[in-house]
Amino acid sequence: MANDINQPFYRDVINNNLLSESLKPLTSQQQQNLQKHHHHQDLIDLLSWNETNSHALRATDSSFSVTSHSVLNEDFDRLKYLIRLVLWPIDHNIRQNLWMNISTLNRANSAKQHRHRSQTGLTTSTMVVENQLNPLAPVQNQWPKFVDTNNLCFYHLNQTNGHPLLHRIISTFALQHPDVTYCPTLQPLSAILLHYHNEYEVLYLINRLLIKSWLCGETRLQWDAHCNVFKKLLRLHYKPTVDIIDSRYSKDFYQDWFWLIFRYLPFSYIVKIMDCFLFEGPKLLFRISLTLVHLYTKRIKHQTQGNDLTMADFCRQISVPIDKLLHIAFRIRNFKRRTIEQLMEHEEKLLRNTRQQMLHDDVKPNHITENLTNQRIPQHLINVPTNSMLNQQQFVTLWNWLPVRLSLAQPMLVFTTNEHGFRLQTLLNKVDELDHSILIIKATNGEIFGAFCAGLWSDRHNRAYFGFGESFLFTLVPHETRYAWVGQNLDDTNRLNQAKREMFLFVDNEKLIIGGGNGDGLSIDQSLCEGSTTHCDTFDNQPLCSQSYFSISILEMIAFDFSSS
């Protein structure tokens, strides 16, 4: 937040010399732009709202209040066009409160009560936000894994205070949200916000973006889906542009769609785009990037290859004024949010299917049927889940390994990455109240293995390792092997050895482990995309697959249904 009433910047973290270079006088047209919207003064007052202590927060405060506004549909639409059209300078006083007021705005559904009003149909409510983030996480040596360290953006943040404070904000967010495994947009967005808001307000605002799903993905798969959707939108609205890009650039070009804005455009452009983004969401970013690529290809299409102006330099040296850039972007016809959502769903499904592809020729069929001749077929196993990766015979193998009382139940698929995505927190939410479950993994090389987990998953909140000795590790493909708890067979009473042999289940913010002691029998990271396996004392097992570190194609969790047994 600004240090004085005439200065909108959070001055403690800003490089004033560098910032002053970006402060350019308004053109006469821009001055007219500000003046001609005086008839929307009711909306401008709303965006300037600054209730006493509303957003201010000192480092010693334990909480702060945020005032949210609700406006009717027609006023919401007026606000959208006002925010699009008005070019507030980057040092305008309205910026002390603009982004917080936009981010906390609510849309009311009915306008019946206000048909004849002359003022904005406005209701306000104030809530107290408890500050559970004090102190912030200490500065770490490395950025959290979800940050794209090849595209770090600091803009006009100074190195003394700004860079370390931004690092602490991102680290604190990572501690709060361990299920966010890849989110390259978060660091630049936080950096921009920190120019005008203090660290606690920035944390509040980026959490608002997370709740709205406006961070352009929280996993690598979701980010890749956004990049693929950008290319499809470009082909849909500017097909000749795609042809030019594909003839001159590699496929990686489309991975840069977000950075065209937040890494390469001038700071004043980014600030104005943030005004619209905080109101309209990622759809706005797609509009801007499509427009930039379209304008770029118009510039270079008659140039010979090798003499091209690069896309990055085009954005850095952009000659199109920001108001014209926005005008062109908003003229893209039939650019519907529902179309983007459908494309996103389709791309995420395609990417999941790609991850699940494997080399079937590498898996020998006789390995799957090995040692099945001596197995009994459980009489009660009649309802095998059709949407599971396992076939009937593989379920038979597992059911023969289970405690007898559980083999009377039917398998029930409660989680699969095919349907529920690749997030550890989602998995834990699905199994929290289960006391017996089967974790099954298919690696990208086709091998299948996992663990029978005996223990209430919610016990992870009470102790480090939890669970019981009925747990076991297993491999199903390419061969069938079960590794039971060694405590069933050993008489050693040494307390240290006993502790190592009772490390059944472990969960923290970064991983899920089954089997411990001188190694993790099976470990899965928080993205549910990567894992490792090695010998452990609890199960005295061999690695469950041919590679100590493996990539996951599908992960499932099976529960037990006694209702039909």
For the residues 445-468, what does the mean pLDDT come to?
89
CA angle 540, 541, 543 (to 5 degrees): 145
**What CA–CA distance (Å, rounded) separates 314 from 103?**
31
pLDDT > 90? residue 161: yes
> Looking at residue 382, what is its pLDDT?
62
Find out whether 553 and 442 touch, Cβ atoms under 8 Å. Answer: yes
Where residue 112 falls among pLDDT bands split at 50, 70, 90? very low
The contacts of residue 443 (CB under 8 Å, 6+ apart) are 449, 545, 547, 550, 551, 552, 553
Give residue limits of the domains in the chain.
Answer: 18-52+67-107, 161-347, 392-561
Its sign, for the CA torsion 451, 454, 456, 460, is negative
- Which helix (H) or strand (E) is 438 found in, with range? strand 436-443
Residue 161's CB is within 10 A of a number of other CB atoms, namely 16
> Looking at residue 561, what is its pLDDT?
83
* 260-277 per-position pLDDT tens digit: 999 999 999 999 999 999
* Least-confidence region, from 48-62, 140-154, 175-189: 48-62
Q: Considering the domain 161-347 in this protein, what is its CATH number? A: 1.10.472
pLDDT > 90: percent of the chain: 41
Average pLDDT in the chain: 81
- Which helix (H) or strand (E) is 327 found in, with range? helix 322-330
**What CA–CA distance (Å, rounded) separates 499 from 517?**
8
**What CA–CA distance (Å, rounded) separates 399 from 438?**
11
* Least-confidence region, from 9-18, 22-31, 81-90: 22-31
> Looking at residue 490, what is its pLDDT?
54
- Which helix (H) or strand (E) is 242 found in, with range? helix 239-248
For the residues 398-408, what does the mean pLDDT come to?
85
> Looking at residue 178, what is its pLDDT?
80
- Give the phi and the psi of residue 496 in degrees, each rounded to 5: -65, -45
Using alpha carbons only, how large is the chain's radius of gyration in Å? 28
Q: Is the pTM of this model over 0.75?
A: no
Find out whether 241 and 257 touch, Cβ atoms under 8 Å. Answer: no
> Looking at residue 328, what is its pLDDT?
97
Q: Around 390, how many Cα atoms within 13 Å sit in the side-chain half-sphere?
A: 29
DSSP state of 380: T
pLDDT > 50? residue 367: no
Where residue 119 falls among pLDDT bands split at 50, 70, 90? very low
> Looking at residue 407, what is its pLDDT?
78
* Least-confidence region, from 20-24, 169-173, 272-276: 20-24
pLDDT > 80? residue 456: yes
pLDDT > 50? residue 301: yes
DSSP string across 344-413: HHHHHHHHHHHHH---GGGS-HHHHTTT-TT----TT-----TTSSS-HHHHHHHHHHS-HHHHTSEEEE
* 335-350 per-position pLDDT tens digit: 999 899 999 989 988 8
Among 46-55, 142-151, 242-251, name the most confident range.
142-151
Residue 320's CB is within 10 A of a number of other CB atoms, namely 15
pLDDT > 70: percent of the chain: 76
Q: Which of these, 81, 452, 542, lies nearest to 279 by C-alpha position?
A: 81
Residue 225's CB is within 10 A of a number of other CB atoms, namely 23
Where residue 358 falls among pLDDT bands split at 50, 70, 90? very low
> Looking at residue 433, what is its pLDDT?
87
